[in-house]
Chains A and B, each alone.
Chain A
Amino acid sequence: MKHEALADAITMLDDDIIAEAQEPFRRRSPLPIFGACTAAAACAAAGIVFFVSGRTGTDILVMGADPSEKAVTISSPAAAAVAAADARAYSMDTTDISVEITASGTTVVDVSGGELLVVGADSTLPAERPLEISGEASLIWSVPLWDIGAEFELTAQNGGSSRVLLLSFDDSTQEWVVSEKY
């Protein structure tokens, strides 16, 4: 039977091919231009506020805290599952992280994994990436956080300088955190 032969063959694929598919990769795409979105809409939509003071002409709000000063904790189903250490617990959900950006000039934003959504006044739509921002933009970074070994980056490029926020699992606190990557 085709089904069984194929299924068995796929189960026996090489380890490196299986492992590789779980590692984040950055999609390659053309550069679309998006208009500015209102900051208030993002706060209302996600209930999370995120602020990073900009040293490169880009300010980012993250859950009311500045990741360049202190890592920002992201609550997620993964953290709850880890805390419970329950062998039966797993989730297939993605976690939405609200990111609010104020750009002085033009900033190009991209993420290494997950999906970026642009929050508008009336709707939230998937963003093409990388995303070009002039002025203010309210975004949601929707990330699958079921693998605590994974790391994700949000990069904001403004002129010749860039900022990178790292989303990773903190073993000591058993929480996902966003921090400034230097």
Chain B
Amino acid sequence: MDDESILDLFWQRDERAVSETSAKYGRLCGKIAFGILGDPQDSEEIVNTAYFRLWNAIPPKRPDPFMPFLARIVRNLALNRLKAERTQKRFGGEFALSLDELDECIPDKKGAQSDSEHIRDCLNSFLKTQKREPRSIFVMRYFYCESIEDIAAKTGYSESKVKSMLFRTRNKLRQFLESEGISV
């Protein structure tokens, strides 16, 4: 079922909207949540909560495109869960690994800290200057929390090539953020 039809079901308050969303995007949502939380049960709970949030948000919203809207809800819920628990033993999995990699991108500086919106704007600007392949691989890794192995399987690049592309992109990002005066 295409996204427009799914959105129609939400607007008609037809409960098939949830099952159709699950059928089409359940795996993707599960991968995002699992990548952040590293726990299947927590991930399942987050995904189901995301469907509930969708149900409450649509209508009045009619997100276009639909998938990023849903993915963002899942990611936010999972991050909030992580922040709430915030114990070292639960802070694991692909998400922790991917954040460790990204940590080096933002320089430490004295003075005013940059907020998430400013960093987001800089990230968007930076990514739009990159070629399609490294940009998408960056997003697979740091938005969808996919493992290097999964990205390699999906794109056809070797794992070492994926690591190399991510390394180069992170270095460019660090230089870009420094030039924009970003500090955290």
Contact = CB atoms under 8 A, between A and B. Distances in A.
A11 B75 contact: yes
Interface string B55-73: 0000000000101110110
Nearest to A3: B99
Interface of B: 1-2, 18-19, 22-31, 34, 44, 47-48, 51, 65, 67-69, 71-72, 75-76, 79, 83, 99, 102-103, 105-106, 113-117, 119-120, 123-124, 127-128, 132-133, 135-137, 139-140, 142-144, 150, 152-158, 184
B128 A11 contact: no
Interface in A84-122: 85-92, 94, 111, 113-116
B34 A92 contact: yes
A15 B71 CA distance: 10
Nearest to A87: B22
A148 interface: yes
B34 A171 contact: no
B26 A25 contact: no
A44 interface: no
A85 B19 contact: yes
A17 B124 contact: yes
A27 B156 contact: yes
A144 interface: yes
Interface of A: 1-29, 78, 81-82, 85-92, 94, 111, 113-116, 126, 129, 142, 144, 146-149, 171
Contact of B26 (A1, A87, A144): A87
B102 A6 contact: yes
Contact of B19 (A14, A19, A87, A149): A87
A15 B119 contact: no
A18 B72 contact: yes
A13 to B, nearest CB: 6
B132 A147 contact: no
Given A12-B116, A144-B153, A27 B133 contact: yes
Contacts of B106: 2, 5-6
